[in-house]
Every structure is written in C-alpha cells, then in structure tokens.
C-alpha cells in the first residue's frame, strides 16, 4: 500500500479515513483486493474511519429503487463480512446523511466545467451518447469530493481507477480554501492506493477492468460466490496456451495471464515475481486449480458470513442507521462552518 509521497502532511487536520463503494451490483474480487481489504486493515491504525455505501452515486445511472435498497444491504453485508467492525468504524449509507448532497451543490459552484470534461470515468460510463447521460453522472466527482470533505478526511483508500477523482477532490479543496480566503479550511486528502492489485481485470478480457456492471457473471468472482462457483469461474477464465514465463516482463503482452498471476499474488499477499518463481514453466491446467484452491480458502469464509448477514436485513438496517447518526454528528458542524464561510446561515437554530 502506498501513500503518495509528494504530498506534505497537513498537520492541522487530524488523521481521518473515508472511503465508499457504490451499491450497483455484486461486490467482487477487484473491490476486495483493490480497496475493501485495506478498509479492514486500516482499522488497526490511528485515525477515525468512515466507510460509506454511496447510494446517491448509484442513481447517476438509472436504477430501480428496490434494487438500490437491496444492493445497499449487500454492500453493507460485504463490509461486515470482510471485517469492518461498526464499533471501530462508522458504517452507513450516504442518502441518510443529507450533508453529502448539500456540500456537493456548493462544490458544483466551486469546480469548473473544464475539470469535469477531463474525467475519464464519465467518458467510459456515458458511452457514445453523452447527451443522454444524466447531469448527475457528469458532476459525480463533486459529490465524491463532498463525501470526503464533509468529514475533512485526510486519507482515502481506493483502487487506482479513482485516482483522478481524488485529484479533483484536492483541486476543489484548494480552490475553496483560496476563493473564500479560508486557508487550510479543508485538508488536501491523500489517496491510499495498493501497490499490487490496484486494478484487477475481467476474467473474460484482460484489457477490461473487473466490474460490477459487466453483464457476464463469468467476468468476475463475486464475494458472495460459493466454492463451486469460484472454482468454475477460474477454470473457465480466458487464457493463452503458453506456459507461465520466468519473468514479469514476459507477461506484458499476455494480459489474461498477467491478471491471473496478479490475483494469485494479491491473495497470497506476495509479489508476481514470487508467483512466477513457483509456477514458471507450468501451464494453466496446473496453475488454475492452485489459484482456485487459494481463492476458495480466502473467500469461502467471507461469502458464508455475507450470506449470514444478508439473511437478517433488519440488523443491517439497524447498523446503517446507527452509523448514519454518528456520521451526521461529524458532518453537521462542518456544514455549519462552510455556511459561515459563505456568509449563509444554516438551518433554523440561529436567527438570520
């Protein structure tokens, strides 16, 4: 795990960790290896931790209301099953804490259209017909900046695909602090991006990211998959006929082979070099069963725990709503301060 070296620490802001995941489908191995496992390990260190199911982000694409609700519980169950402890971390869903949306509007007035036009995720998600994309999808990154900065969070564990959004968050914080003559009001949050497995690719196409929204279920290993499904998906993963090479350089033009080796390395908590030392010269007929065994061993327990949590949605809702109360206690004073800075008065507590 690396923290970007070029950023000086902002000592005036206490260490606070924030991250989020969208409830738009099944959580998969990429989400776990690229992000979720760090959310869990960061519970051992210093600093408050706030983990969010970002349901307001989910509706930037058309969703059935019932499906968002179910997916919100699913993501919460994955957080819990992976080891997020609601006693040590604040766990909640975004729509219950209205300050996220409130601050996002203010940031829409700080961020520039030119910044949004550079966002690659918008281009990917909007597809060919950009005119038909929602305005929400276009300004998605300002909502993400609001998620983070409503807590004055200093650290954000994410996969590599979110790096550009984190840079935009820092730009928003910088411009707000400058425009309103409020030096150091918002911290400049740092991404925490894993060195290995920052980008897990589809099992069907090594050039495409493993994604919740891929129509083919065989493209990903879901955290909820049982042992048989995991083994079968690995067995069917696209590969080439050559044996595994001696060096990582030789994987360069073999994206599918590279991806399976990277997955093995990430699960075994080692490096690709070490995996090749063990398997060089062997074909996928030998490598895939070993990878399946390792994946089942690591994820079998998480998927069983997920099913246990998902069987009790009332308990999940209770955890999310208790988390939302704690989250609001942090965001409300920050929004009060933001309103002060802007020359507004927030709410009815004080006379205008």
Cβ contact 92:335 at 8 Å: no
Catalytic residue list contains 128? no
Catalytic residue list contains 209? yes
Mask for 137-156, x = binds ligand TRP (CB under 6 A): -------x--xx-------x
Residues 304, 224: Cα–Cα separation, whole Å: 8
Q: Which residue carries 């969703």 as its tokens?
A: 63
Mask for 28-67, x = binds ligand AMP (CB under 6 A): --xx--xx--------------------------------
Whichever of 73 and 212 has its CB closer to ligand AMP, that residue is 212
Does 158 sit near ligand TRP (CB under 6 A)? yes
- Active-site annotation holder among 175, 208, 209, 272: 209
Whichever of 93 and 162 has its CB closer to ligand TRP, that residue is 162
Does 20 sit near ligand TRP (CB under 6 A)? yes
Closest contact distance (angstroms) between CB of 209 and ligand AMP is 4
Phi/psi of residue 174, each to 5°? -60, -45
Residues 3, 1: Cα–Cα separation, whole Å: 7
- By a kind-dependent CB cut-off of 5 to 8 A, residue 30 interacts, out of ligand AMP, ligand TRP, none, with ligand AMP
- By a kind-dependent CB cut-off of 5 to 8 A, residue 34 interacts, out of ligand AMP, ligand TRP, none, with ligand AMP
Whichever of 34 and 206 has its CB closer to ligand AMP, that residue is 34
Residue nearest to ligand TRP (CB): 20
- Active-site annotation holder among 152, 212, 233, 288: 212
The residues near 18 (Cβ < 8 Å, ≥ 6 apart) are: 49, 50, 51, 52, 147, 148, 151, 153, 155, 156, 189
Whichever of 166 and 276 has its CB closer to ligand AMP, that residue is 166
Helices 313-342 + 284-310 axis angle, to 10: 90
Cβ contact 7:205 at 8 Å: no
The token pair at 40 is 């869990």
Query: Residues 185 to 214: which contact ligand AMP by CB under 6 A?
Result: 198-200, 209-210, 212
Whichever of 150 and 234 has its CB closer to ligand TRP, that residue is 150
Q: Which residue carries 């959004």 as its tokens?
A: 165
What is the chain's alpha carbon radius of gyration, rounded to the nearest angstrom? Answer: 21
Query: What is the total count of residues that contact ligand AMP (CB under 6 A)?
Result: 16
Residues 286, 283: Cα–Cα separation, whole Å: 6
Alpha helix segments (H runs only) across the chain: 29-31, 37-41, 55-58, 65-82, 99-108, 113-117, 120-126, 135-138, 140-149, 163-179, 227-236, 255-268, 272-279, 284-310, 313-342
Does 161 sit near ligand AMP (CB under 6 A)? yes
Burial of residue 166 (number of CB atoms within 10 Å: 0-12, 13-18, 19+): buried
Q: Which residue carries 């550009």 as its tokens?
A: 164
- By a kind-dependent CB cut-off of 5 to 8 A, residue 144 interacts, out of ligand TRP, ligand AMP, none, with ligand TRP
Does 210 sit near ligand TRP (CB under 6 A)? no
- By a kind-dependent CB cut-off of 5 to 8 A, residue 169 interacts, out of ligand AMP, ligand TRP, none, with none
Cβ contact 191:156 at 8 Å: yes
Among the listed residues 294, 188, 195, 289, the one whose alpha carbon sits nearest the alpha carbon of residue 237: 289
- Active-site annotation holder among 125, 163, 272, 290: 125
The token pair at 266 is 């990430």
The token pair at 323 is 């988390």
Does 212 sit near ligand TRP (CB under 6 A)? no
Catalytic residue list contains 208? no
Where on the chain is the footprint of ligand TRP (CB under 6 A)?
A: 18-22, 54, 57, 144, 147-148, 156, 158, 162, 165
> What are the residue numbers of the active site?
125, 209, 212
Where on the chain is the footprint of ligand AMP (CB under 6 A)?
A: 21-22, 30-31, 34-35, 158-159, 161-162, 198-200, 209-210, 212
């Amino acid at each position: 795990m690396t923290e970007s070296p070029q950023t000086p620490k902002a000592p005036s802001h206490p260490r606070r960790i924030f991250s989020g995941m969208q409830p738009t489908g099944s959580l998969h191995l990429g989400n776990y290896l690229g992000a979720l496992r760090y959310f869990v390990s960061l519970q051992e260190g210093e600093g408050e931790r706030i983990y969010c199911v970002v349901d307001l982000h989910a509706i930037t694409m058309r969703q059935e209301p019932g499906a968002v609700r179910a997916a919100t519980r699913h993501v919460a169950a994955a957080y819990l099953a992976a080891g997020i402890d609601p006693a040590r971390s604040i766990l909640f869903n975004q729509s219950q804490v209205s300050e996220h949306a409130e601050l996002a509007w203010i940031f829409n007035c700080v961020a520039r259209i030119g910044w949004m036009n550079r966002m690659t995720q918008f281009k990917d998600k909007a597809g060919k017909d950009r005119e038909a994309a929602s305005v929400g999808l276009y300004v998605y990154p300002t909502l993400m900046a609001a998620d983070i900065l409503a807590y004055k969070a200093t650290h954000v564990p994410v996969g590599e695909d979110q790096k550009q959004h984190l840079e935009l968050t820092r730009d928003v914080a910088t411009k707000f602090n400058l425009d309103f003559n409020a030096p150091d009001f918002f911290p400049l949050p740092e991404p925490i991006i894993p060195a290995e497995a920052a980008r897990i690719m589809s099992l069907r196409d090594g050039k495409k990211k493993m994604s919740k929204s891929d129509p083919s279920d065989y493209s990903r290993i879901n955290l909820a998959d049982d042992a048989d499904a995991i083994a079968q998906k690995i067995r069917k993963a696209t590969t080439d006929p050559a044996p595994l090479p001696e060096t990582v350089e030789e994987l360069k033009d073999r994206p599918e082979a590279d991806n399976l080796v990277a997955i093995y390395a990430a699960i075994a908590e080692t490096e690709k070099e070490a995996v090749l030392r063990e398997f060089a010269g062997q074909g996928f007929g030998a490598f895939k069963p070993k990878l399946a065994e390792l994946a089942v061993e690591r994820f079998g327990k998480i998927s069983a725990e997920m099913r246990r949590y998902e069987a009790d949605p009332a308990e999940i809702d209770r955890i999310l709503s208790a988390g939302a109360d704690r989250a609001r206690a942090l965001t409300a004073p920050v929004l009060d301060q933001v309103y002060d800075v802007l020359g507004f008065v927030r709410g009815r507590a004080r006379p205008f």
